[in-house]
Structure 1
Amino acid sequence: MSGGTRASRADAVRNREQLLAVATRVFMSAEAEPSMRAIAREAGVGIGTLYRHFPTRESLVDAVYQDQVARLTTGARELLDELSPAGAMRRWMDLFGDWIAAKNGMLDTLLVMIESGEITHAHTRDELLTAVTVLLDAGRAAGELRSDVTAEDIAASLIGIFTVAPRSGRGADAGRLLNLLMDGLRPVR
């Protein structure tokens, strides 16, 4: 394999990662699903480059969705390497909010994909609950989080918070509500 081929593959990987990052950012800030052309424009590439990496809207939405789920699932353990368990839980809640915000900008396509079976909601739910359980278990072991709270409790609370305080800045402040949730997760001393 020549050096030129490796370099072009590395460029393709970088381009794909940049497109995913930009698409995620555009989906997070969109009120309605943005066009593929708008995403390409924001990424500073031609529409052909976007379609070369993601031949359909569904392939782009799936890639963004899976990337965000992976960030949440691997992020739990990575955050525990950097922060206290309670700090990791609070930071993970912010990542969850980002995921919810990104889903809002691609909701119509996601719903079609879930309905068709391309994305399985139950599998994603299980992955996310496992990530929360990892954080809870570490927090319990460190005496930083209550022992009577379940991953399902936290997931339901987060969905409620981001329903009334979306990341777009309308409504109540999500950060303040997440801090209140964290206060409720700490053991009573």
Structure 2
Amino acid sequence: MSVKGQQGRKPRADVQRNRAALLEVAQRHFLKNGVGSSLEAIAKDAGVGPATLYRHFPAREALLAAVLETRSAELLARRADIARLDDVSQALRQWLQALEDYFSAFNGLPEPLVAAAREQNPDNPLTVPCDDLVATTEEYVRAAQREGHVRASVKGYDLYLAAGSVAWLRGTGYTDEEALARLRALVECGYREQDDAD
């Protein structure tokens, strides 16, 4: 068989099955134990050896990126709903809440997502999804700036970090919902123009 023919072949059924099992089990482990879950335990619970896991996902970030991809539909749906809003301030507020919820999907998730956005390592599979989230946040910030609701000095990256910080606190369990609401209000006071009345 030619090389071209081999490249066009679909993955074997057992390869697809192993990948699907690893993603399903990894999501369960991440939900229960956070993103620092043992990769060996994930492989064992998926019924494969560690070598099989590393063939599919050479690093923890690769597995995490693949699991997050399966969860991205909810974030996309929320973004579509937010895009229908006429109020740019409300759109930014709702996007930041959606971003915070996304960061909160698994305990410990803010750290690798913030690191990926900061480091800009092209070999990190989390870099592209993080870049997309920062770019989307920047779009909402710029729309609100055009209407005079957000300080000119504020960047989408700043509010990406703010959402990650609130999500991190949320994940620690050290604070209650009232304290989180006050923290969100403080963040908003920081990015809003001082003479913005709404």
Fold shared by both chains (TM-score > 0.5): yes
168, 171, 186: which one pairs with 1:167?
A: 171
Q: Which amino acid aligns with 1:96?
A: F
**Are 1:63 and 2:62 an aligned pair?**
yes
Is the deviation greater in 125-134 or in 173-182?
173-182
Structure 1 position 154, deviation (Å): 0.8
In structure 2, the residue matched to 1:102 is: 109
Counterpart mapping for 1:1-189 below 5 A: 9=13, 12-13=15-16, 15-30=18-33, 33-41=36-44, 44-48=45-49, 51-55=51-55, 59-67=58-66, 78-83=77-82, 84=85, 85=91, 86-98=93-105, 101-102=108-109, 118-119=123-124, 126-137=131-142, 146-148=149-151, 149-163=154-168, 165-168=169-172, 170-173=173-176, 176=181, 179-180=184-185, 184=189, 188-189=197-198
What amino acid is the match of 2:185? L
Deviation of residue 161 (structure 1)? 2.3
CA separation of 1:35 and 1:17: change in aligned 2, threshold 3 A:
same
Aligned-residue identity in percent: 17
Shift of the alpha carbon at 1:59? Answer: 1.7
For 1:38, give the aligned amino acid.
A
For the residue of structure 2 that corresponds to 1:80, the secondary structure is: helix
Task: In structure 1, list runs of 5 or more residues that go unmatched.
Answer: none
Distance 1:120 1:152 in 2: 19
Asked whether the equivalents of residues 29 and 101 of structure 1 are also in contact (C-alpha less than 8 Å), the reply is: no
Change (3 A) 1:166 1:55: farther
State the secondary structure of the residue aligned to 1:59.
coil
Residue 122 to residue 51, structure 1, CA distance change in 2 (3 Å): closer
Residues 140 and 146 in structure 1, CA contact (< 8 A), matched pair in contact too: yes
Residue segments in structure 2 that go unaligned for 5+ positions in a row: 1-8, 86-90
Higher relative helix content: 1
Q: Is the 8 A contact 1:27 1:34 kept in 2?
A: yes
Query: Deviation per CA, 1:81-136, whole angstroms, max 9, x where unpaired?
Result: 123424343212210233672366x89xx99xx8x984288766644321211333
AA matched with 1:147 = V
Q: Which has the larger radius of gyration?
A: 2
